[in-house]
Structure 1
Amino acid sequence: MKLFVFDLDFTIWNAGGTWCDSTHPPFAWKDGKLKDQESRWIYLYPEVKEILAELKAEGHLIAVASRTNAPTVAKQLLHLFEIDHYFDAREIYPGSKLTHFDRIMKETGVAKEHIVFFDDELRNIEDIRSAGIESVLVNNGITKELVKPYLTREIAQDLLQSKAC
């Protein structure tokens, strides 16, 4: 896969058991934990930074597709977690994930057969699959185990193409 697209809430981070648009900024780091004004702990899932760094190091494009009602909050969290620089495209606003993907594909120039999408909501997975894009349901945050098959799939495809030449 050339382009890896991630949802945010419950895929990249846990916003204290809720969505980021239900948190109460401003956020502050306290005792090494990011908290909102209600002391809700907002955290990245453990393997997120390693996954993003590895994808970027291997030359993959990375995007965000989030239908949050609080895009400013989501963008602030990306910055506070120091992961915003990994993303080549950001579609963060309320609305259809299909619209997000139309814009991501236009911005990156990547065709749908070279994209994989990770999200925690089945309705989003079904919508994006209906558009012909590989989609993976995430439970309890993104993991290397979920991403790995899409890295090895690209390697296998490259090997097959080079043998065919």
Structure 2
Amino acid sequence: MENDKASTKKIIINYGVILGILSVLMGVVIYVMDGYAEQNWVHSVIGLAIMVGVTVYGIKAYKAANGGFLKLGEAIKIGLGIALIGGIISVIWTILLMSVIEPDIVNQMNEVQREQMIERFPDMPEEQLNQSLEMTKKFTTPYMISAFALIWSLFIGFIISLFAGLAMQKKQDLY
């Protein structure tokens, strides 16, 4: 049983680091293409595909290393572990980007949001617009964005590992 936990830990770390590196690489590409200010649905789809792929491969690797057997609980544990490590690495990138590399990025994001609100609600009074933007600014600090990103990563990791675990589970016969 001790050997079992060691392989779980190793797979979680390996695939979590792979997820983190791929997420950072995607973040660098988005930054270089100047895509952080305006969110694009394509970035979300690519990020989700990366997370699904790495998590499923991690669970599949554990199942192969475990003689072809996998319990649902193990799949969820592995998926959440991969999501946590990948999320932490991604959060470090986000904080570095927003605090060191491009400290003005939050202001750029807020300005784009202001323009979008004016475009969507042209009749909104200036005072109400400013109140909405002030509320938005409270949630667009690097640390708030990072906290929500980590929570989202864990939530998505749970959903992915739940479905992957249900699809791949195979219990070992004890008799």
TM-score, reference length from structure 1: 0.28
Which is greater in Rg?
2
| Larger RCO, structure (CA 8 Å, separation 6 or more) | 2
